[in-house]
Chains A and B, each alone.
Chain A
Amino acid sequence: MDTLIYIFKRILQSIPILFIVSLISFFLIRLSPVDPLSQLKLNPAISEETIQKETKRLGLDKPVIVQYGLWIKNFLKGDMGYCMDNTKVSTKIKARILNTLLLSFMVILVSWIVALPIGILCAVFYNSKFDKILTVLTSAGMAIPSFFFAILMLLFAQYTGWFPLGGLTSVDFSEMNVMHRILDILWHLVLPVFVLSIISLSSIVRQMRANLLDVLNSEYIKFAYAKGLTKNKVILKHALRNAINPIITLLGFEFAGLLSGAALTEYVFQYPGLGKLILEAVMASDINLVMASLMIGAIMLIAGNLIADILLKLTDPRVRI
């Protein structure tokens, strides 16, 4: 019950934040000198009538506040308007969200599975060769620009021919059966997931190491040793449980970082995710698409933080708002 109330409160808290985000994403773009219909107006195939219709739909002839109200109303209904190429924004975004979620999920999965044991080993064997080498490696992992790393990986794929050069599916994807399709997607995911995992696992390893070191220095661990427990038992049963809590908070941050960091990686790998979509939209100044993807990105980020907080609440009932 307590947990349910906590979740409810947390969701209520994010509503004003979403409201402010919507204000930012609307006014930032509307008040900029970019004319939302400039591309339509330039296109000779589009009649004066269509432009007037679009002006009316966006409420461009009315004051800005009214425009904002209209936009929000439509957005809540799921109608985000049309892109420049006359497809619905919502359909375009839907497909991309799934791809980005797939990528983020894989990255989080891989980086956690790899990073947690490494972080634990680093802390247990503090100041050993292993620890020192990994400190250097994780610093390097955090320092490499994601897009540059992605380019190097493309180079690697080109020379070895082991991996596809970007994209999410092969050319003959539509002719494959289900099993082959899954394998094909996984095969395409290897490099982007690798690039993003290396970058995000570096920070998890460090955090895990630092937390566990903190815990290992505490009094109750000394007491557990004094009681005569074996090293394995002390670490696995007593230390780890307490060291892992702050890491769960990191999950939310990581998801946030992934949404941002993935944009460039998606762009280099030509991966059809939300980041690449927003990039393309920005380059083409496709206003509807930009505003919608900014909102969706924020919603995803807030949802990610929410999930992390709920997980934290489940593992550590002491947490309160």
Chain B
Amino acid sequence: MKISDFFYKLKKDKAPYIAFIVLVVMYLLIAFADFFALYPSTYSNRKLTYQPPSKMYIIDSQNRIVKPYTYNFTKTFNRDTFTIEYKEDKSVKYPIKFFSKGFEYKLFGIFKADIHLISKSDDCNLFLLGTDIGGHDVYSRLFYGGQISLTIGFLALLISFPIGAIYGGISGYIGGRIDKIMMRIAEAIMSVPSFYLLIILASILPSNMTSKQRFALITAILAFIGWAGFSRVIRGMVLSIKTSEYIKAIETIGACRRRIIVKHILPQTSSYIIIALTLSVPSYILAESGLSFLGLGIQLPDASWGNMLREAQEFANIIYRPWLLAPGFLIFVAVLSFNVLGDKIRDILDPKTVKK
């Protein structure tokens, strides 16, 4: 199928098309995370923990429309209720500018830049979605967190799918005793409740790793959980492909097993692989967020949507500081979009399932 054909079919249905656009926008946002962010990823202001979201004003006290500005918050300790209260300090106005200079960053890790969507002066504490317990800007961290949460699933798939495909291919093609042993191993991995295995694997990671190492190992763990189920399906398909005549023909020519499996059998399963790919990204995103939510996945100071939601474990937080729940909605939107798009891709690539 041509790519233009594919997009034509995708466009015909509204919901999957919207899902596709949402995903493209999300990936663009995380690709240009630094441009959209207000603060660098390492920023934290311990003096301003749990500050509520700043408000932007465009109408001033004389009811005139002016350029957007904001106020800083002052922190006071209420001696009667023993709580920390934030109040807007209305004495100084801080202007907010668009598309102008802010902190310096490297776009894609290469190009130096300092232009931001929203920028503000250094002494202005603009937190569009408030701050968390470490005084991190929740708004900026949504972008940095997305960089991890939305890519880790894909990376894990890039590991687990080739392994699953080759494992299933070998098992199905060779058959006999080897097939039995290989499938028992895969079944054993599937027989352990996957989340139990996930948290145990994550918990035995040594704690003194750099954040990059941790990211890589969490990806590997996610991949380790996923390949078994996939390999079983591929094996089933290989079993039926193996008996077809063209495979017999190749065998008579004398091609070696490796060539038959990799060059002639596995490509036949490609449309299933594409379908399974899009349909399994969400489960990886959910797994990562669950893991990080428990504190076993991506760790501070790195952000991921899951570990940002860790704050919501504390009951006081979800009642008094609802802005901390923002990453949960993003996970929801991302997973929903992947599901809807995946269903449509399945319908397009696998016409057998389309219902009249």
Contact = CB atoms under 8 A, between A and B. Distances in A.
Contacts of B286: 145
A275 interface: yes
B177 to A, nearest CB: 13
Contacts of A143: 282, 332-333, 335-336, 339
Contacts of B335: 142-145
A20 B290 contact: no
Contacts of A17: 184, 187-188, 191
Interface stretch (A1-9, A82-90, A167-175, A296-304): A296-304
A310 to B, nearest CB: 17
Residue from B185, B193, B294, B296 with most neighbouring chain A CB atoms (10 Å) = B193
Interface stretch (B84-92, B94-102, B199-207, B245-253): B199-207
A260 B195 contact: yes
Contacts of A136: 15
Given A145-B290, A147-B290, A282-B199, A260 B194 contact: yes
Contact of A301 (B191, B318, B333): B191
B289 interface: yes
A297 B199 CA distance: 13
B319 A158 contact: yes
Interface string A281-316: 011010000100110011011100100000000000
Interface stretch (A25-33, A42-50, A185-193): A25-33
Given A21-B188, A279-B294, A256 B193 contact: yes
Given A28-B201, A217-B356, A279-B294, A298 B192 contact: yes
A243 to B, nearest CB: 13
Interface in B281-296: 282, 286, 289-290, 293-296
Given A145-B290, A217-B355, A279-B294, A24 B192 contact: yes
B150 to A, nearest CB: 14
B315 interface: yes
Given A25-B192, A29-B200, A279-B294, A139 B339 contact: yes
A126 B192 CA distance: 38
B328 interface: yes
Given A143-B282, A261-B195, A28 B200 contact: yes
A100 B92 CA distance: 57
B189 A24 contact: yes
Contacts of B194: 260
A139 B336 CA distance: 6
Interface in B316-353: 318-319, 325, 328, 331-333, 335-336, 339-340, 343, 353
A301 B331 contact: no
Interface string A113-150: 00000000000001000000000100110111111100
Interface string A228-263: 000000000000000000000000000010011101
Residue from B187, B192, B197, B315 with most neighbouring chain A CB atoms (10 Å) = B192
A285 B294 CA distance: 14
Residue from B201, B295, B328 with most neighbouring chain A CB atoms (10 Å) = B328
Interface residues of B, number: 47
B29 interface: no
Given A16-B184, A213-B355, A264 B192 contact: no
B187 A145 contact: no
A102 interface: no
Contacts of A18: 188, 191
Given A155-B318, A260-B193, A279-B294, A145 B199 contact: no
Interface in B272-324: 282, 286, 289-290, 293-296, 309, 312-313, 315, 318-319
A151 interface: yes
Nearest to A150: B312
Given A148-B309, A151-B328, A213-B355, A294 B197 contact: yes
A16 B183 CA distance: 11
A294 B309 contact: no
B111 interface: no
Contact of B355 (A126, A165, A293): A126
A267 interface: yes
A20 B184 contact: yes
A297 B188 CA distance: 12
A121 to B, nearest CB: 16
Nearest to B198: A260
Residue from A28, A158, A260, A297 with most neighbouring chain B CB atoms (10 Å) = A260
Interface string B38-55: 000000000000000000
A34 interface: yes
A294 B340 contact: no
Interface of B: 15, 184-185, 187-197, 199-201, 203-204, 206, 282, 286, 289-290, 293-296, 309, 312-313, 315, 318-319, 325, 328, 331-333, 335-336, 339-340, 343, 353, 355-356
Given A28-B204, A140-B336, A143-B282, 17 more contacts: A18-B188, A24-B189, A29-B204, A140-B332, A142-B282, A143-B333, A145-B290, A147-B290, A148-B332, A152-B325, A154-B318, A217-B355, A264-B290, A275-B196, A279-B199, A293-B196, A302-B191
22 contacts: A17-B188, A18-B188, A21-B192, A24-B192, A25-B192, A29-B200, A29-B204, A139-B336, A139-B340, A145-B328, A148-B309, A148-B325, A151-B325, A154-B318, A165-B315, A210-B355, A282-B200, A282-B203, A285-B203, A293-B196, A297-B193, A298-B193
